[in-house]
Amino acid sequence: MLNPITDIRTKFQDIEVSPEWCFKNVRSTEQWTHGYHRYPAKFLPNIVKKLIEDLTNQEDVIADLFAGCGTTLVEAKVHGRKSIGVDINPVAQLITNAKINPIDPHILDEYSQKLIDSLDSYNEAEYQSIESHKRIDYWFFPEHKLKIAFLYSQILLLSTNENQLRDFFLCALSNILKNCSRWLQSSTKPQVDPKKSPVDPFKAFKVQVKSMKKKNDQFFYELSDKDLLETECDILIEDARTTSIKSESVSTIITSPPYVTSYEYADIHQLTAYWYEYISDLSMFRKNFIGTFYSLNQETVTSSFIGQDIINQLKEKDARTAKEVANYFNDMTEVGREMNRILKPGGHACLVIGNTTLKDVKIKSAEVFAEILQMLDFKLVDIIKRSIPVKLIPTIRDKKSGRFTKLTNKNSKLVYPEEYIIIAKK
């Protein structure tokens, strides 16, 4: 018999791309409410849909411990499965809440019209004296800032028992903040574009609401026709390592963990986080994110053999990156333990993850996660390899800095054109 580590390595070497998981002919990923808000590295909904259809029954409970903008939860609801999501990021919770709770189209019509009409009463002079966080002053020109402050105050006039409407409009406003700011439009990372002419907030808001309304109506009628509007679906702001989800209460986990030092979600969502006062200090906000460049841990040891091999190679090149990757693998081991706790015996954990390269070392996260799951007594049921359409995920990194970049950059290098779906059984 092969030793389990060699076995995992061999398994990965032998896997061919599965065409039925590539969804090559998918033209749009924007069905239902999926397209409400941009979100880096969000799931292709078709993967979640296929996993739900292949692995779950009507009475099953589905969880996503890195719920992001709620792709798993939206798909679970439209399939009539109860679901629960967890994410450390309050912006993820806001977007997800807006997406999983469609509003009666007639009510939404009425409130959208009222809100849009109220923009006519805007008087810049009344807003001149508002106080705002210094980072808001950094990102926005005064005329745009004042209009956004007005819009925000109008949305907050909705009473607290109109939460679904509030979330809908706050989500709409959140998604236009980047366009209305000085943030370089083509960049996910925070970077000022000194030449940018930001979009007028009122104009952008009207367009955004119109587009979201269409999706809301489509999702609402789909759910009401199938009598699924009341399907339980919840999103919590919690840490994936220590959730409040009851032990052995979940049938299937469908999740895509953050990549290591790729997207700094705290930084990326700072405009919304400052405006909605989720944070006052970015460095505090960053602290509990997994896969962050700003982790405070100083580990260089991990329990996965494949992981340790990667860390040892990195140590030779760059001590800081070695620590970041070790922290990441250790955090993900804790998440694996938490998944084991919440899953019912016989339940499935499905992880979607790609490999990447840092400092010229291959970071084979998929192999490491497979090993971690096995160490935690999961049985590996299937490992699926799929190719990712380039338009759906940034696949280019700067070879020197390791950060995402454009193909036109001479240091650029393709990363995760393929990803894996690991299916393990408790």
Ligand X SMILES: C[S@@+](CC[C@H](N)C(=O)[O-])C[C@H]1O[C@@H](n2cnc3c(N)ncnc32)[C@H](O)[C@@H]1O
Span 25-44, contacts to ligand X by CB under 6 A: 39, 41-43
Q: What is the spatial distance between Cα 36 and Cα 96, in angstroms, rounded to a whole number?
A: 9
Interface with ligand X: number of residues (CB under 6 A)? 21
Nearer CB in complex with ligand X: 292/302? 292
240 touching ligand X, by CB under 6 A: yes
Nearer to ligand X, 146 or 212 (CB): 212
Report in angstroms how near the CB of residue 296 gets to ligand X at its nearest. Answer: 13
Contacts of 282 (CB under 8 A, 6+ apart): 135, 266, 267, 270
Q: Which residues of 143-166 are buried (b: 16+ CB within 10 A; e: fewer)?
A: ebbbbbbbbbebbeebeeeeebbb
By C-alpha distance, which of 41, 50, 40 is closest to 19?
50
Binding status of residue 233 toward ligand X by CB under 6 A: no
- Residue 267 CB, shortest distance to ligand X, in Å, is 11
Q: Least distance from C-beta 200 to ligand X, angstroms?
A: 29
By the rule CB under 6 A, 289 interacts with ligand X = yes
**Ranges within 171-190 binding ligand X (CB under 6 A):** none
Residue from 31, 33, 56, 71 in contact with ligand X (CB under 6 A): 71
Q: How far is the CB of 342 from ligand X (least distance, A)?
A: 13
Stretch that binds ligand X, among 82-90, 185-193, 388-396, 412-420 (CB under 6 A): 82-90
Q: For residue 319, give both structure tokens.
A: 């001590």
Nearer to ligand X, 249 or 288 (CB): 288
Compute the distance between CA of residue 72 and CA of residue 56 in angstroms, rounded to an integer.
13
Round to whole Å and give the CA distance between 172 and 95. Answer: 9
List the interface residues with ligand X, window 111-130 (CB under 6 A). Answer: none
Residue 54 Rama label (left phi>0; alpha psi -120 to 50; beta) = alpha
Three-state secondary-structure class, residue 116: helix
Q: Return the residue nearest ligand X (CB atom).
A: 68
- In order, the DSSP letters of 302-360 are -S-HHHHHHHHHHHHH-HHHHHHHHHHHHHHHHHHHHHHHHEEEEEEEEEEE--EEETT
Contact flag: residue 46 with ligand X (CB under 6 A): no
Q: Of the candidates 256, 261, 272, 330, which one interacts with ligand X according to CB under 6 A?
A: 256
Does residue 144 interact with ligand X by CB under 6 A?
Answer: no
Q: Is 88 in the site for ligand X (CB under 6 A)?
A: yes
Who's near 187: CB < 8 A, 6+ residues apart? none
CB of 416 to ligand X, least distance (A): 12
Amino acid letter, 124: E
- Sequence-distant (≥ 6) Cβ neighbours of residue 385 within 8 angstroms: 15, 16, 17, 18, 21, 418, 419, 420
Interaction pattern, residues 185-224, with ligand X; x per rule: CB under 6 A: ----------------------------------------
Question: Using the rule CB under 6 A, is 87 a contact of ligand X?
Answer: yes
Binding flag, residue 262, ligand X (CB under 6 A): no
Does position 239 interact with ligand X (CB under 6 A)? The reply is yes
Torsion of CA 8, 10, 387, 69, to 10 degrees: 10
Choices 85-93, 121-129, 297-305, 359-367 (CB under 6 A): range interacting with ligand X: 85-93
- How many other CB atoms are there within 10 angstroms of residue 35's CB atom? 18
Closest Cα partner for 92 from 61, 52, 64, 134?
A: 64
Of the pair 66, 140, the CB lying nearest ligand X is at 66
290 vs 310, which CB is nearer to ligand X?
Answer: 290
According to the binding rule CB under 6 A, does residue 85 interact with ligand X? no
Could you list the residues that contact ligand X (CB under 6 A)?
39, 41-43, 66, 68-69, 71, 86-89, 92, 239-240, 256, 258, 265, 288-290
